[in-house]
Amino acid sequence: MFISYYGPIMTARAAHTFAALFTFLYVGSLYAVKNARLSFAAKTVRVPNGGPRVKERDERWRDDPDVIKARLTVASLVTLACCALVYFVVFTPLAREHEVSFFTFESTIIRLGLGLEGPHTVYPYLVAPMLFFGPLYALSLAQMLPFQRCFVFRRDVIGVLFSWQGFRNFVVGPITEELVFRSCILAIYKMNGASEAAMIFVAPLWFGAAHLHHAWDCFNRYGRTWAAARRAILMTIFQSVYTTLFGAHSAFLFLRTGSVYPPIVSHIFCNIMGVPQMGEELKRFPRNKRGIKIAYVVGVLGYIYALGAWTRTDDSFYWRPYYETPKF
């Protein structure tokens, strides 16, 4: 296959419109389908100690198995639809006017980062674990890493992955989100001629915005009070910022490697690890405070180094200006 660029093949407005459409389709589908929709009792419940209230019989909450199954189905279908839209954009006469392509399907596969060859080394998959060097060290102190005394494969792997929540959080969720918010959105911005910086720091804002809808869930689960509203706002701000930052990390991996597989693995790993809890770890292991702090510093410095040194891929479709775009 031969791909040769002569300039952007869509306007910035069109690229933003497609990105908004992908985001709307992914999030909106969770509420468009009845079985995937959440339902809450429309009443105020004051809950002591700031915890969530008790779920009522007729309500449908986010972690209900029926809700999870429905949402996994619609999210998967929407992901396929978004990938198909990218294919049709590549196939349009406007695209062919600027691009010589005899194999539109193969071209789309490359743009989506779905080539089976993937990165040639394992290093891009180790960037996120390097950042979590501190939390991993704390887990080793707790003897919770694989092959350590407190790690139980049946409980910590089988029991998690074969639950509906685990299947959502560690399999379908990361795969569909990376395909939509990295593969599809970055493919569109590439066709707009966006710079690497814009794709790393601007495109992930859509991923952060896709998590705003969790505020309604939090507000209802915590009783629909003013305290619940404050919690929902703070939680949503934190989650949106955190997911936007992760989106920038994931976009960098995607662009540098030209593959969606390192971002997917990174997403799964980060979901498993959760948000680092350095304060709690220092309290739990007071004799190892210095070691934990050093491990966190090593992780951050190692991550900064690994971003450049471990992600370089000479044949990445994305990490080149147009005139250096590889020919396939």
What does the pLDDT look like over 191-208, one tens digit per residue?
Answer: 999 999 999 999 999 999
43 band by pLDDT with thresholds 50, 70 and 90: confident
Neighbours of 98 (CB within 10 A): 14
Q: What are the extents of the domains in the chain?
A: 12-324
Show the beta-strand stretches assigned E in the chain.
Answer: none
Amino acid present at 61: W
Quick check: 326 pLDDT over 50?
A: no
Quick check: 321 pLDDT over 50?
A: no
DSSP string, 77-135: HHHHHHHHHHHHHHHSHHHHHHB--S-HHHHHHHHTT--TT--SSSGGGGHHHHHTHHH
Average pLDDT across the chain, whole number: 90
Helix (H, G, I), strand (E, B) or coil at 272: helix
Quote the CA–CA distance of 295 and 135 in Å, as a whole number: 8
9 band by pLDDT with thresholds 50, 70 and 90: confident
Q: Which residues pair with 265 in a beta bridge?
A: none
Average pLDDT (156-179) is 95
